[in-house]
Structure 1
Amino acid sequence: MIITKVKVIHFVPVTCNMVKGLMPWKVSNARRLADPTQKTDCGYKSGARLCISMDSWWAAFNYHLSAMPFLAAIDSGIMGISPENVTFLPPSKDQMNFCYTISSCRSSFPEAMKKWNEFYQHIQSPSSGFEDLLKYLWAAHASSLEMAHKNFDNRLKCYSKQEADFANNWALFVDYLAPPLFPTTLTRTHEFQKGLPTRILVSGDETHFIGDFTNFQNIVLFALSFLHKVHKYTVPVGIPVEAPHIRVPCVGVGPQPQVVGGQNKQGLKVGGASMSRDSWKEGRG
């Protein structure tokens, strides 16, 4: 990336910043950006832990939720940078699924760029309130996610069924956060993000009873899975629902890493009550 000039913009304090609230888990959970095919050590302890794999579903989505908004901010004039002075370097594959300049983003993803630009225009308006900004932020966020789904959902075949299910469940949950205009401030999202998994799920992880996850993390996985089931069986006719995850061989996939810490023998604590793995199986049968 080439940037020749940057203008300092004084946004609201970081704890109230609605954009920064979307970032902590994505930044701190770098292992989710690792190579799902395991052809390389990109993102793993044995290699470059901060490496971002070109095959990562999560990384591709993050690009649409970070690089594109950044270019749209420049396009809006809020950063005081000339559009001609910023260019991203393309990856070695799937080049057509990304954009690298403001003009290429406008051409490839016009609706998403339009919505991000509208968000930044309203940031600069003295009459814009917090609720108004949230409305435009979520509209832009949803538009970027829609484009990412179209271009990159085929990458989920490179993951275990558990991780692919979690990715779909998480994306659906974000869709449900948009209509009520969930305030994505750093303070509001920090506590919730403690419940998100800290590593890629692997085959052998028994969802909701993962030994190296906290009770809160297991509860969140259970809740996201439950939301997806409710959505699937109550969604009105005509609205598409994701197809079941089918394990299609992904080129270069190596053996799945072993589950760390084994299964959680003590079960899952919900609402102050303890639920064993066996009793939960009986209850869901």
Structure 2
Amino acid sequence: MWSALAIPTFLFLSLFSVGLASNPESVRAINKNYPPFWNQVSGDITVFPVKDNKIIINIWNYLDRLQMYKILITQTNKYFVHIGANDTGNVLWALALTYGKLYKTGRFSDPSNSSAYVYDAGSPGYLSVKSGWGGINFFEIVMNFLAAVESKFLNVPYEIVLVSRGENKSDFCYSVKECRASYPEAMDAAVEFYQYLQSTRPALGNVSVYDASEERATLLMWKAHRAAIDIGLSKFTNMSWYSSVSERNFTVDFLNFMEFCESTVYHSDFNSSKSFLLGFPCKPLEDGENMASNTNFKTREKAFLTLVKFMPNLNKVTDGWFFMVWKSTVESTQLRHSLGRFLIETLLLMPLKA
């Protein structure tokens, strides 16, 4: 069994190896890896239009949704200054960078016409309300953002109203009140993350540096992420939301694989997330594509596709035992977290060294 696990695990560690490097990137290098149009949106919530004492956010507009991510990162950066230079230590980067990657690879387009999608670096557009990826990502950002408002982490003078596109309206929620009523557990999980940040104190009297624990913050971020993703997966796994069966299967595999990352409380800072997403497939998958032989994909993408399929399948054939062991190992104490990851990774790599 260990030999069977060795190659996929080696690929897993390789994908994250750059993220484990301690040297911070320069500001110039970071800018190249931001989500598309990152520098064109503000991290200030007051930039959104106000109408009838309500802040209006067009949640189906790429830039508006991107600005929601930037506001959350801007407002939480001070809690992670001690983790990475140039604001790279923020544990929310995994969410923002994944959003940008999904947009750039055309996964927010109408699945019935996804072949017509061409990423235009000069013209940001709308997210299709018919996209499964768009629907799942909706809950990720909305639960986070509205929880930050509800917990008073974001000081918002007006009510937040998200603009509906009309189609499939019942599948979503568009205000704190609606989301709280429909998805209380997901809202609670996200609120817990922001309440934790609020409970931390300035380190050494410096109001711009807080004593937030990277492990605790990362665990709570992943917990909130899983709660939101579970909502999306329950709604958007039907084939009608995707351009192909292969793309639908990849979506489910990828999000289930993220449960493995969550259960290890894997670091979600800028560098780790950027390195991980290097292998994210550059376009939606077409039916009949063979990831091992398809020349459209680079080696890193083929490794990524193999890995995200392997881990969920391993968990499935072990009847959930694999992820359960990881969770019971890493979520107790810091010591067990560190020793568990070290021992398992060492055991899985031993056959490669033989």
TM over 0.5, shorter chain: yes
Choose from 221, 224, 227 the match for 2:308. Answer: 224
- Show the counterpart of 1:203: 287
**Unaligned stretches of 5+ in structure 2?**
1-47, 56-70, 82-86, 202-211, 324-351
The runs of at least 4 aligned residues of structure 1 exceeding 4 Å deviation read 1-8
Choose from 175, 198, 205 the match for 1:101. Answer: 175
**Unaligned stretches of 5+ in structure 1?**
240-270, 272-285
Is 1:137 the counterpart of 2:221? The answer is: yes
Deviation for aligned residue 1:49: 6.5
Q: Quick one: which amino acid aligns to residue 206 of structure 1? A: N
Matches within 5 A, 1:171-210: 171-210=255-294
Choose from 237, 240, 246 the match for 1:153. Answer: 237
Deviation for aligned residue 1:182: 0.9
User: Do the aligned residues in 1 keep the contact of 2:190 with 2:224 (CA within 8 Å)?
Assistant: yes
Q: State how far apart, in whole Å, the 2-side matches of 1:230 and 1:111 are.
A: 28
- Show the counterpart of 1:50: 125
Q: State how far apart, in whole Å, the 2-side matches of 1:136 and 1:39 are.
A: 35
Instruction: For residue 87 of structure 1, give the secondary structure of its aligned residue in structure 2.
Output: strand
Q: State how far apart, in whole Å, the 2-side matches of 1:16 and 1:155 are.
A: 37
Is 1:70 the counterpart of 2:154? The answer is: no
User: Do the aligned residues in 1 keep the contact of 2:136 with 2:232 (CA within 8 Å)?
Assistant: yes
User: Do the aligned residues in 1 keep the contact of 2:98 with 2:277 (CA within 8 Å)?
Assistant: yes
- Cα distance change, pair 236–218 in 1 and its aligned pair in 2 (3 A): closer
Instruction: For residue 267 of structure 2, give the secondary structure of its aligned residue in structure 1.
Output: coil
How many residue pairs were aligned? 236
Matches within 5 A, 1:1-285: 2-3=49-50, 9=75, 11=77, 12-13=80-81, 14-30=87-103, 31-38=106-113, 43-44=117-118, 50-82=125-157, 84-126=158-200, 128-155=212-239, 158-236=242-320
Deviation for aligned residue 1:67: 2.0
User: Do the aligned residues in 2 keep the contact of 1:33 with 1:58 (CA within 8 Å)?
Assistant: yes
Q: Quick one: which amino acid aligns to residue 53 of structure 1? A: S
Deviation for aligned residue 1:21: 2.5
Q: State how far apart, in whole Å, the 2-side matches of 1:73 and 1:157 are.
A: 29
TM-score of the superposition, structure 1-length normalised? 0.74
Deviation for aligned residue 1:39: 8.3
Percent identical across equivalent pairs?
22
User: Do the aligned residues in 2 keep the contact of 1:2 with 1:87 (CA within 8 Å)?
Assistant: no
Deviation for aligned residue 1:19: 0.5
Q: State how far apart, in whole Å, the 2-side matches of 1:114 and 1:64 are.
A: 13
Q: Quick one: which amino acid aligns to residue 288 of structure 2? A: G
Q: State how far apart, in whole Å, the 1-side matches of 2:124 and 2:49 are.
A: 25
- Cα distance change, pair 172–142 in 1 and its aligned pair in 2 (3 A): same
TM-score of the superposition, structure 2-length normalised? 0.61
Q: Kindly provide the CA deviation profile for residues 34-76 of structure 1, in whole angstroms up to 9, marking residues without a partner as x.
A: 11111895x4469x76331111111111111112211111111
Q: State how far apart, in whole Å, the 2-side matches of 1:39 and 1:16 are.
A: 35
Deviation for aligned residue 1:228: 3.1
Deviation for aligned residue 1:131: 1.2
Instruction: For residue 172 of structure 1, give the secondary structure of its aligned residue in structure 2.
Output: helix
Q: Kindly provide the CA deviation profile for residues 76-96 of structure 1, in whole angstroms up to 9, marking residues without a partner as x.
A: 1111103x4210011222212
Q: State how far apart, in whole Å, the 1-side matches of 2:230 and 2:166 are.
A: 23
What's the Cα RMSD here?
2.8
Deviation for aligned residue 1:28: 3.4
Q: State how far apart, in whole Å, the 2-side matches of 1:49 and 1:199 are.
A: 17
User: Do the aligned residues in 2 keep the contact of 1:55 with 1:155 (CA within 8 Å)?
Assistant: no
Instruction: For residue 34 of structure 1, give the secondary structure of its aligned residue in structure 2.
Output: coil
Q: Quick one: which amino acid aligns to residue 26 of structure 1? A: Y
